[in-house]
Structures are given as C-alpha cells and as structure tokens.
Amino acid sequence: MSSTVTTLATASAFFAAPVIDPDKAIYEFIIPANKPWSHIVEKGQILRIIDLEGQQAVDTLFYNAHDTSERYSAQDTILTQGGPYVTTGTRLMSNEGNVLGVVVADSCGRHDTSAGACSCEANTARFGHHTRYMHACRENFLIEVAKHDMTKRDIVPNINFFMNVPIEPDGRLAIVDGVSSPGDYVDVLAATDIIAVISNCPQINNPCNGFNPTPVKVLIFDPAIA
C-alpha cells in the first residue's frame, strides 16, 4: 500500500464534524418504504439519514451539483481510505479524485459500497424469473436522476447505507442481516454543492431490509445558520 494513502484517522481529523443542533434542521422529509428521493446539499451543509425502524438499506448516489459528469466513485473511495466499508471519517470521492462529502458521524458503524443496487435484471438472475416485475433500486434511481437531466448511463456503483455486506475470507460478498437499530443515523458533510439521490431499497428477496422495507428520514442541517 502506498504511503500516500490517507488513513481514516487523518481524514476524520481533517474534516472535524461541525456541531449541529438536532432540533434545527432546515429541511426534513420522510422517504416512504420503496420510494426514491433527491435534493441538493450545499457545501458545508450536513445530510443526516435516519434508519427509522432499523435494518433498512438506503442506496445512495452523489453528484457534483454544477457538473453531474463528476459523481461518486466507489472505487476511488475504497482506494483512498484503504478499506471497503464506509463509516465515520470516510471521504466520499468523485470519479475526478475530489472529495464530494465526508461521513462525520455514524451511530451504526458499518455501511457498504461494494454490492451495488438491486435491479430487476439482477433479481431475475439471483432469485428467479418470478421476481422480474418487482420494484428495484435501479428503477428508483432512473426516476430520480431524470429530475436532474440525467439518464441510466449516469447511474454508477453506489453506497448502501445501513446495509451489511461483509467481505468473506475467500473474497465473496455476503448480504446478511443489517446491524442498524431503529433511529440509527449517518451524517454526510458536503464538501462541495452536491445532489444526493436515494433509493429507499424495496428488496424483499434477501435480508438487506429485514425482508420488510420501511421508511427512512432525511434531514439537512446548515451549521452556518444554526
């Protein structure tokens, strides 16, 4: 491993978490089970995602709000931190090597960015043809990125907040029961103006949502005006 790789501790110290008053969100929305959502988060603001009932995967993408050809890169994020899991201190990197956001708080402790989003095609291959018409994260992403003049070619490998995907010793990904409890949250500090796009995952064929998709809450805080 190169000596230029920044450790989690260094990243965390560099992006110290601003103090926020949980009662002073400037934006609040509950994303119903199975539904998509998107919103601009301005530089310096914090996006909080709350897993209201626990064990709910929240598939998430980030784009530069001023140039959506720059977007979240799972590969660069993993390479930069030298590890596959997302948690406090993780710098969310773009395909151009810039920091889009930083995870500054995390009451869950484990999020995936390796397993991608569920799709009708993948469901069919994994679970059988009868799942072909079940709603999937890819459909949610398509609906939501269209609101920002993007198409399916703009959907890239994402973060799965609150999804537990341990990498086994033989290198395989395992999708197992989530470790998030009701009320667990993750805070992302925007390092530049970003578009956050979420699919509140509708998957019911594996344990990523406890076989029961549930609502999640998103809040935006602005420490500059709190």
Binding residues (CB under 5 A) for Zn ion: these are 118, 137, 201, 203
**Minimum distance, C-beta of residue 214 to Zn ion, in the bound complex (Å):** 13
**Minimum distance, C-beta of residue 17 to Zn ion, in the bound complex (Å):** 29
- Cβ proximity to Zn ion: between 103 and 201 the closer is 201
- Cβ proximity to Zn ion: between 137 and 155 the closer is 137
Q: What is the 3-state secondary structure (H, E, C) of the chain?
A: CCCCCCCHHHHHHHCCCCCCCCCCCCEEEEECCCCEEEEEECCCCEEEEEECCCCCCEEEEEEECCCCCCEECHHHHHHHHCCCEECCCCEEEECCCCEEEEEEEECCCCEECCCCCCCHHHHHHHHCHHHCCCCCHHHHHHHHHHCCCCCHHHCCCCEEECCCCCECCCCCECCCCCCCCCCEEEEEEECCCEEEEEEECCCCCCHHHCCCCCCEEEEEECCCCC
**Minimum distance, C-beta of residue 193 to Zn ion, in the bound complex (Å):** 27
**Minimum distance, C-beta of residue 204 to Zn ion, in the bound complex (Å):** 10
**Minimum distance, C-beta of residue 209 to Zn ion, in the bound complex (Å):** 8
- Cβ proximity to Zn ion: between 186 and 191 the closer is 186
- Cβ proximity to Zn ion: between 118 and 150 the closer is 118
- Cβ proximity to Zn ion: between 196 and 201 the closer is 201
